[in-house]
Amino acid sequence: MPTVSRTFTVNATPDKVVEYLSDFSHAEEWDPGTEKCVRVDDGPVKIGSSWHNESKIAGVSTELTYTLKTLTADTIVLVGENKTATSTETMEVKPAGAGTELTYTNEIELHGAAKIGAPAMKLVFEKVGVDTEKQLTEVLNGLPA
């Protein structure tokens, strides 16, 4: 199971980071692979909220339905699923001075024949992890105070 994890500090406060990241439609702004991410349901973002995500990574397009599984003051867990993969994105926040230390972890579980590609996917996702950290840092540092 390919797993990528990064820990870094941003200027935004923990509450702003959680508010922003819990609405997964923002993935279009911070996730370099996401091309489109649209909320499926409506109302306030809460556990059970879901999004249709269209991504392209290393030239391969995929669509997943993400569901918000955990939402607390310091942890967000989103799980994206389709027939070939389950992607679990965990974001843990804690105060760091005037800003936030964010640990972003993405675990990808491949299903069926797709499991054969797991070793190669690890290399691809390490590169994606670097790009995600950079883009996420820029976006979170740009949030209004």
Which CATH number goes with the domain that contains 27? Answer: 3.30.530.20
The predicted model scores a pTM of 0.89
- In the sheet where 34-39 sits, what is the strand order? 3-10, 99-110, 85-96, 75-81, 60-71, 50-57, 34-39
Averaged pLDDT, 3-22: 95
Question: Could you give phi then psi for residue 14, rounded to 5 degrees?
Answer: -55, -40
Q: What is the pLDDT of residues 77-119, one digit of tens each?
A: 999 999 988 999 999 999 999 999 999 999 988 876 555 555 5
The total number of structural domains in the chain stands at: 1
- Residue 131: give the domain boundaries: 3-141
Q: What is the pLDDT of residues 35-88, one digit of tens each?
A: 999 999 999 999 999 999 999 877 778 999 999 999 999 999 999 999 988 999
CA dist 48 and 50 (Å) reads: 6
pLDDT in the model for residue 18: 98
